[in-house]
Structure 1
Amino acid sequence: MFDIISVFHEWETTESHREMYTCRPLRPTKARNEYVHAVKTRIEQRSIRIFVLASTEDMTTPYGKITAFDFNPRNLSAEFGYYLPKQNRGQGYGQEMVSRFLNLMFKDPEWGLHKLYATTASGNIPSIKLLKGMGFHLDGIMREHYFIRDRIEDQLHFSLLKREWGKPSV
């Protein structure tokens, strides 16, 4: 089996447009060993869950990942973010990955989720299409929230309730 967390580190260090894929502050990527240790610690503490879409042929070729975080046990909700390296975008992997993730997370007995939510920049059309295609509802807009290079964009907040998952979008 491959060291998947090292692959995540490689994705982060080689992504030339990191600022396009997060609203979080961009910090220099930690050294590989420090990065791997930090991710493993968060997984062990159950503060994040990471899901990977990998090749069914060898299970060693990851196509993308989803990280669930900010679990709120009072409200039974969690945020998630997803990432596909450039070579895997536009091939349907995002839809497959998010669909499988939703199936797993809404059945998970430990977190027992009622709602999952995600945010994206208003200019991230592929992400908006993916979330809407999965049945997510646009809950709100934080105006002029992202500074991305030489422009400013709104932050869109999407959510999906457990009872809505798998039902046709209206």
Structure 2
Amino acid sequence: MSFDLMEVMAANVDVHRTLYRWDQEEIYRERFTCRPVSALPDWDAFMESIVHRLRSDALRIFVLWDTTKKAPIGRVTTFDHNPRNRSAEFGYYLPPVHRQHGYGREMVRRFLSVMFSDGIWRLHKLYATTASGNIPSIRLLEGLGFHLDGIMREHYWFETEVQDQRCYSLLAREWTGR
């Protein structure tokens, strides 16, 4: 397989349809965020929100693109950009069919290289959070050189359990391109 990291623009409607479908089909959606999880809006409302956020520079979306199949494999979303502190938060997602193949690591590695050399946001720091029980995500972040900045105790409330939130960051000068 051959891959590219592609930034998704408002006009990439077919890619947005795939990302929307991933959200619809993910049965554990609430496990990927500590934020409130509500029902997905209908397609038109979803696109209106995405287009507005992309055009206002409040959000950037990247996909690991399979150049052979001409389809996305996973996505990285960057948000909470703080131009004063030159920082941003990001999250990543792979649908179940693409997990445990190394695609997440490849996608985030490429994303970090792009964002730390990006002339638009000029980032000094990227950060991400994950639930303490999300071992694959912890391994991915730590394997790419992220530092554990802190733990927010009992921050994720799931139906059957409570987990801590692990907060990680990576500074531009620390990024080695692993």
**Structure-2-length-normalised TM-score:** 0.91
Map 1:62-101 to 2 at 5 A: 62-101=72-111
Identity %: 52
2:170 to 150, 160, 166: 160
Structure 1 segments unaligned to the other structure (5+ residues): none
2:143 to 127, 130, 133: 133
Task: Specify whether residues 72 and 2 from structure 1 end up closer, same or farther in structure 2 by C-alpha distance, changes over 3 A only.
Answer: closer
In the alignment, is residue 115 of structure 1 matched against residue 125 of structure 2? yes
Q: RMSD between aligned alpha carbons?
A: 1.3
- Give the match for residue 51 of structure 1: 62
| Aligned-partner SS, 2:167 | strand
- CA-to-partner distance for each residue in 1:131-166, whole Å, 9 max, x for gaps? 000000000000000001210000000000000001
The one-letter code sitting in structure 1 at the alignment partner of 2:64 is L
**Runs (4+) of structure 1 moved beyond 6 Å?**
none
Structure 2 segments unaligned to the other structure (5+ residues): 1-11
| Aligned-partner SS, 1:33 | helix
- Greater RCO between the two (CA within 8 Å, min separation 6)? 2
- Give the match for residue 22 of structure 1: 33
- CA-to-partner distance for each residue in 1:27-57, whole Å, 9 max, x for gaps? 1100012111211111111100000001111
Q: Is the 8 A contact 1:144 1:153 kept in 2?
A: yes
| Aligned-partner SS, 2:20 | helix
The one-letter code sitting in structure 2 at the alignment partner of 1:107 is S
| Aligned-partner SS, 1:91 | coil
Residues matched between the structures, number: 167
The one-letter code sitting in structure 2 at the alignment partner of 1:43 is L
- CA-to-partner distance for each residue in 1:100-144, whole Å, 9 max, x for gaps? 000000000111000000000000000000000000000000000
- Give the match for residue 44 of structure 2: 33
Q: Is the 8 A contact 1:9 1:36 kept in 2?
A: no
